[in-house]
Amino acid sequence: MAGAVRRRSRGEGDHHAITGPHDTRDDANRASTRHHPFRRWGPRPVSTYRDFAHRGSARATVLRTVSARERRSHLTAPRVPTVGIDIGGTKVMAGVVDADGVILEKVRTETPDKSKSPKVVEDTICELVLDLSDRHDVHAVGIGAAGWVDADRSKVLFAPHLAWRNEPLRDALSARLAVPVLVDNDANTAAWAEWRFGAGRGEDHLVMITLGTGIGGAILEDGQVKRGKYGVAGEFGHMQVVPGGHRCPCGNRGCWEQYSSGNALVREARELAAAESPVAHSLIDRVGGSVQDITGPLITELAREGDAMCVELFQDIGQWLGVGIANLAAALDPSCFVIGGGVSAADDLLIGPARDAFRRHLTGRGYRPEARIVKAQLGPEAGMVGAADLARLVARRFRRANRRRVERHERYERYAQALRNSASPRTTQEP
Ligand SMILES: [Zn+2]
C-alpha cells in the first residue's frame, strides 16, 4: 500500500510494469504529508504529473505529452546496450544494439503462424531475449511490431500477420522478462533509427516511407514520432490515389500501395508474363515459364542488368511513389523523405523516377523549397535498431529501480549476516 501511494504520487505507476521495491528514503517525506488535511495545496517536495493533470493546468498538457518526455530523454538516456526486436510478417529479428546504433549481436527466427495464440509469440520473444542475455546485459527491450500500437505504446491494437487483437504486449512482456519493455510500430522504429543513425540524421522534419509488400510510414518532427491521437498515424499506403482503382485488402479501392509497392511490382510483372507479352520474354525465360516464381528481388536483378521491361516497371512504381510523396509534401511539408523497405534496394531505378514525378506533381512547384528524397541507409535492420534505441529511453527507469532493489538486497544481506553472526557463537561452540 505504502509503495502504491508513493508510486502514484510520483506519476510512475501507470507507465511501466517495472516498479522497484519502494524506497525507504522517501518514507520520511511522505509520512509528513500523507495525513495533512490540505495536502494537495500544502508545501510538497515535488510537484507531480498527476497533480497537474488533475488541476488541468497548462503545464499538465506539456507533461502529459509522451513525445516531450521522449525529446528530453533521448539525449540523456543511459548509454547502455539494449535489445531491439523486429516482428515482421515472416521473421522475428532480435539484436543487442549499443548507444551508437552498432549491432553487437543478432539472432532471428520465424514468425509464429497467425493461427497460434498470442502466448506463442510472447514465448518466441522471450526465448530470443533470454538467448541474448546469456552473453549480454539486457537493460531494456524495445519491440517494433508490424501492426497498430496504441498511443500509450502498451497495446497492439491489431496486427495483420499475427493473432494480436488489443494485446497488452508491453505489460505481459515486462512481467515475464523483468526488464522495461517499449512497444512501437515497426515503421516508427525504423524512422527513429534512420533519424538517429542513418539517412535522416540532422533532419528535424522527416517522413519515412517503407516500401515492402505494402507501404508503411512514419512522421518525425523535432525528434518526436508523431503517432496521432490513437497511435495509428502514418498509414500512408491506404491514401486513395486512383478512384475506383485496384482492390486493396483493406477493403477500399485505389490505395497508394496498390500502385507503388513490392506487391504492385510483382503483380504487374506477373500480368505481363501471364499475357506472354513479348516484352517480358527474358523474365519468362528466367522463371522457366512459371509465372508464380516471379518475385521482387528477381525483377530488381533483371532491371539492374538493363532489362527494358523491368526498368519500366520500376519507373511506373517510382512515378506513383513520387505522386504520393508530392501529396504528403502538400500535407506535411517535411524537409526530407527517407525511402526504406525491400523495394528501395533498386536504388536510383526507383528513386530517380520518384524524384521526377515529385517535382512534376508538387503543389506550388517553383515557389517553394523542395524536400530531399533519399534512400534509407540502415537496411532491413532499421526497425530493430530503432526499437533498441527507443528502449534506452525507458532503460533509465529500470536502472533507478534496479539500484534500489540492489540496495535493499544489500541491506537485507547485512541484516542476515548480522543475524548469522549473533547466532554463530552458539553454533561454533556446539562441536
Ligand atoms: Zn488500402
Q: Give distance in angstroms: CA of 6 to centre of ligand 1.
A: 47
Same domain, 217 and 175: no
Q: Give distance in angstroms: CA of 325 to centre of ligand 1.
A: 17
Domain containing residue 387: CATH number: 3.30.420.40
3-state DSSP assignment of residue 212: coil
Same domain, 332 and 366: yes
Would the pLDDT of 400 be above 90? no
In this structure, is residue 69 part of a structural domain? no
DSSP 166: E
Would the pLDDT of 347 be above 90? no
In this structure, is residue 407 part of a structural domain? no
For the chain, the domain total comes to: 3
Residues 372 and 334: their CA atoms lie apart, in Å, by 9
Same domain, 222 and 345: yes
Residues 14 and 76: their CA atoms lie apart, in Å, by 22
Considering only residues 413 and 347, tell me which one the structure prediction assigns the higher pLDDT.
347
Phi, psi of 142 (to 5 degrees): -110, 135
Cell numbers 534496394 correspond to what residue? Answer: 345
Residues 173 and 155: their CA atoms lie apart, in Å, by 11
Residue 401's pLDDT band, with cuts at 50, 70 and 90, is low
Q: What is the predicted pLDDT for the residue at 90?
A: 83
Report whether 351 contacts 386 (CB < 8 A): no
Q: Give distance in angstroms: CA of 249 to centre of ligand 1.
A: 6
Report whether 107 contacts 124 (CB < 8 A): no
Same domain, 231 and 164: no
Taking residue 162's Cβ as centre, other Cβ atoms within 10 Å add up to 23
Residues with CB under 5 A from ligand 1 (ion): 238, 248, 250, 252, 255
Q: Give distance in angstroms: CA of 346 to centre of ligand 1.
A: 24
Q: Give distance in angstroms: CA of 239 to centre of ligand 1.
A: 7
Same domain, 368 and 388: no
Beta bridge partners of 217: 209
In this structure, is residue 413 part of a structural domain? no
What is the domain range of residue 228? Answer: 202-376
Q: What is the predicted pLDDT for the residue at 55?
A: 43
3-state DSSP assignment of residue 415: helix
Range in 114-118, 192-196, 427-431 with the lowest mean pLDDT: 427-431
In this structure, is residue 425 part of a structural domain? no
pLDDT digit string (tens) for 142-183? 999 988 999 888 899 988 878 888 989 999 998 888 888 999
Same domain, 137 and 45: no
Same domain, 224 and 241: yes
Same domain, 354 and 210: yes
Q: Give distance in angstroms: CA of 234 to centre of ligand 1.
A: 13
Q: Give distance in angstroms: CA of 215 to centre of ligand 1.
A: 10
Q: Give distance in angstroms: CA of 18 to centre of ligand 1.
A: 38
Q: Give distance in angstroms: CA of 254 to centre of ligand 1.
A: 7
- 330: CB partners within 8 A, 6+ apart: 362, 363
In this structure, is residue 431 part of a structural domain? no
In this structure, is residue 406 part of a structural domain? no
Residue 88's pLDDT band, with cuts at 50, 70 and 90, is confident
Same domain, 215 and 177: no
pLDDT digit string (tens) for 310-327? 999 999 999 999 999 999
Same domain, 26 and 164: no
Same domain, 53 and 95: no
Residue 78's pLDDT band, with cuts at 50, 70 and 90, is confident
Same domain, 327 and 302: yes
Contacts from 19-26 at CB under 8 Å and sequence distance 24+?
Answer: 19/401, 20/400, 20/401, 20/402, 20/403, 20/404, 20/405, 21/404, 21/405, 21/408, 23/404, 24/408
Would the pLDDT of 122 be above 60? yes
pLDDT digit string (tens) for 12-65? 434 443 334 444 444 444 444 444 444 445 444 444 444 443 444 444 444 444
In this structure, is residue 217 part of a structural domain? yes
Q: Give distance in angstroms: CA of 414 to centre of ligand 1.
A: 63
Work out the average pLDDT over 230-257.
92
Question: Buried b vs exposed e over 307-328: b needs ≥16 C-beta within 10 Å?
Answer: bebbbebbbebbbbbbbbbbbb
Q: Give distance in angstroms: CA of 214 to centre of ligand 1.
A: 9
